[in-house]
Amino acid sequence: GQEGIKNPIGMSGFRLEVETHIITGAVSSIHNLIKCVQKARVEIEDLVLEPLASSEAVLADGETDLGVALVDIGGGSTDIAVFSDGAIWQTVVLPIGGNLITSDIAIGLRLPFGVAEELKLTYGHCDPS
């Protein structure tokens, strides 16, 4: 068969195959989130995996085609999404986030948590070069 076809509409063939990325989650957590948003009288258009939403916000056109890893370090977790050929290839959520880094700075330097957080925000950075 042919590989790399992104839109087979209008093509002829005998068999259609697809590589998928299955996303799972706790149904009760998702339902609770939906109820919470609806109680705030906000209409939900769609549910989107967080790394996909982040990629739409921060990646330039074509970066997912070339291949890119998006790392989103939050307070309590780190989301990683790897893209290749314009599609998501792998995702993972690690239970390690910025709060743990701040805690390590506080313990290592014997500083209050607030001071450690300020140091992290002022002097910490990721340099892609």
3 state DSSP class of 127 = coil
| Residue % of the chain over a pLDDT of 70 | 98
In CATH, what number is assigned to the domain containing residue 111? 3.30.420.40
- Give domain status of residue 71, yes or no: yes
- Give domain status of residue 23, yes or no: no
pLDDT single digits (tens) 36-78: 999 999 999 999 888 889 999 999 988 999 999 999 999 999 9
- Count how many domains the chain has: 1
- Give domain status of residue 53, yes or no: yes
Contact 80, 94 (CB under 8 A): yes
- Give domain status of residue 89, yes or no: yes
Q: Which domain holds residue 77?
A: 49-123
- Whether 87 has a pLDDT exceeding 70, the answer reads yes
